[in-house]
Amino acid sequence: MKKRFAGLLAGLVTLALTQPALAEFGLNMRQGVTDISHKVYDLHMLITYVCIGLAVLVFGAMFYSILNHRKSKGHEAATFHESTTLEIVWTIIPFIILIAMAIPAAKTLIAMEDNSDSDLTIKVTGYQWKWRYEYMDGDAQGVSYFSILSTPREQIENAAAKGEHYLLEVDEPLVVPVNKKVRFLVTSNDVLHSWWVPDFAVKQDAVPGFINEAWAVVKEPGTYRGQCAELCGKDHGFMPINVVAMNDSDFVKWASEKKSAAAAAAGAADKEWSKAELLAKGEAVYGKTCAACHQPNGKGIPGVFPAIEGSPVATGPVDQHIAVVMNGRPGTAMQAFAGQLNDLDIAAVVTYQRNAFGNNVGDVVQPKQIKAKR
């Protein structure tokens, strides 16, 4: 019975690993779309086959013995209990197999760690619970934005049907050109995160105060999805990574659109905004930036995240409110948003917080006021 069970397991593993079609259903590692990811996949398959081969030998001997050397079959116990020759043999043979494994593994590792001669550098910063991408050079130099989970709350709470890319979709993906060596400088703003795109075989921890390097040359245009791979608190499961790889000409076009959008946003800060406009904008910013902790209804989580509803900050002097949003509260999960949000966003969200959730303070904060405080 045991043998059959182990046979079934081995069969399932072999089936899973030899049928590429099944890979799409998520049984095996993805081959990915970079040279490195292919090498890693080959290494994974090699070690898997070595393990399956050894398993067949070792389990074969065990189960042969279990079936035949049993008292119920009248088998008499032998008395041998040591053999130096055997001990040496089964020390040396595994050692040789390990060396045979170590050589290709070391080669791949050396190739992975070669961060030199990149065409493009992108800084990736982990935040609780979103990613920020900043283009350090190339056509999109200066472009910077946050990338946040776009799966609607209703789907997570089972109030709506889940979409195809449930928990693997973001508002703004990272965009990279194909066939260019893109270097990622990975760091964090708060706790540890890990930036993982399985199709690139890139997983790099984001450590606050330190910069780690990783790189990829993406061969095919497409959308590649990953998730944060280091526990980073409450919404660790809700900060996916999307990378869109596109042809060079499309990338240049995307970069110039991004730049003009940023210029327009900067101009918007000088304009006088109506209360209705600020409230509408503020609600959107609140949903993306504040609701993860302070909750969509503004009630927070008692003992962990304070409520906005009736809070002394949101109903108190407006300057203090702005200061908390811009500078954060050191030593708590409240981040400094001065570097994350533009003047309009901060003005809008402060206005929204002061007038929503029954706070009804009534005042309006203009982007100019924020600009003056920077």
Q: Is 152 in the site for another protein (CB under 8 A)?
A: no
- Region near another protein per CB under 8 A, out of 49-57, 310-318, 345-353, 364-372: 49-57
Contacts of residue 70, Cβ cutoff 8 Å, sequence gap at least 6: none
Q: Per CB under 8 A, does 85 bind another protein? A: no
How many CB atoms are closer than 10 A to CB 230?
18
Closest by CA position to 183, among listed 230, 226, 218, 234: 218
The residue within the footprint of another protein, chosen from 284, 333, 334, 336 (CB under 8 A), is: 333
For residues 123 and 107, the answer to whether their CB atoms sit within 8 Å is no
Rank residues 38 and 259 by Cβ distance to another protein and give the closer one. Answer: 38
Six token digits for residue 207: 């450590």
Q: How far is the CB of 285 from another protein (least distance, A)?
A: 22
Give min distance, CB of 256 to another protein, in A.
33
Question: What residues between 112 and 151 interact with another protein by CB under 8 A?
Answer: 112-113
Whole-angstrom distance, CA of residue 176 vs CA of residue 216: 10
Contact 295, 301 (CB under 8 A): yes
Rounded to a whole number of angstroms, the minimum distance from the CB of residue 70 to another protein is 5
Establish if 280 lies at the interface with another protein (CB under 8 A): no
For 281, the token pair is 């904008």
Question: Binding to another protein by residue 203, rule CB under 8 A?
Answer: yes
Question: d(Cα 186, Cα 195) in Å, to the nearest integer?
Answer: 8
Draw the binding track, 237-276, toward another protein (x: CB under 8 A; -: no contact): xx--------------------------------------
Residue 210 interacting with another protein (CB under 8 A): yes
The one-letter code for the residue type at 189 is N
Nearest to 364 by CA among 272, 286, 287: 272
Q: Which of residues 295-314 bind another protein (CB under 8 A)?
A: 301, 303-304
- Fill in the per-residue mask, 172 to 191: x = in contact with another protein (CB under 8 A), - = not in contact: ------------------xx
Nearer to another protein, 152 or 221 (CB): 152
Which one, 15 or 263, has the nearer CB to another protein? 15
Q: In this structure, are strands 212-217 and 202-206 parallel, antiparallel, or unpaired?
A: unpaired
**Token pair for 73:** 């079959």
16 binds another protein per the rule CB under 8 A: yes
339 binding another protein? (CB under 8 A): no
Q: Report if residue 334 touches another protein, rule: CB under 8 A.
A: no
Determine the Cα–Cα distance for residues 359 and 353; give it in Å rounded to an integer: 7
